[in-house]
Amino acid sequence: MKKVAVILSGSGVFDGSEIHEAVLALYAIEQAGASWHCFAPNVDQHHVINHITGEPMNETRNVLIEASRIARGQIQDVAELSARDFDALLLPGGFGAAKNLSDFAIKGASCQIHPEVKRACQEFARAQKPAAYLCIAPVLIPQIYGKGAKGTIGHEKEVASAFRAMGGDHIDCPVDEFVLDQERCLLSTPAYMLAGSISEAASGINKLVQQLVKMA
């Protein structure tokens, strides 16, 4: 059975992993006949957001512990992730990808990726093992794959501009499709960058995961 490593960034769209995207991806991986195992950085979140009001909360939460809610405890520190042990990689979106896996939400095109996340992702890139990035997570692609790497965050002009400024080749993509960079075994789909419902998010994620597992 093919094995897919999934890197989560917390739990909740505004300060962690987008839960719908994460669960849809895990379900799609199983439906495609593969297995998954989750990882997350063992660090404090950038901040904690009240998902009712959208306001920051005066507390601290750990990314790995919060992500374990989605993984039902089946999760490890991303420092333990080795591309040797898996056939493919997937990163759901959510603002955690831009706040906890990187500081893109604060620094834009000048952002840095969490060192262990970058190391793990680059291991898959160097091994030419397929990797998939959903929603806002593709902003990590240029720093992982280098100049000319293709990816999408949908039609969001400001983020697409930052993607290009980092050296990536941004491609507009509808919610129900994905972008494939064949040379780099790299896939991306807009998901909730465009989706207005769970079903719309699933339409692109399902196609992407099917291709990811096929390539693995």
Write out the catalytic residue numbers: 135
| CA within 13 Å, CB half, 53 | 6
The gap between the terminal CA atoms of the chain, to the nearest Å, is 10
Q: Nearest Cα to 105, choosing from 15, 201, 40?
A: 15
Q: Nearest Cα to 93, choosing from 35, 151, 43?
A: 151
Q: Nearest Cα to 170, choosing from 209, 141, 132, 144?
A: 141
**By three-state DSSP, how is residue 40 classified?**
strand
Q: What is the 3-state secondary structure (H, E, C) of 122-161?
A: HHHHHCCCCEEEECCHHHHHHHHHCCCCEECCCCCHHHHH
Token pair listed for 24: 């849809």
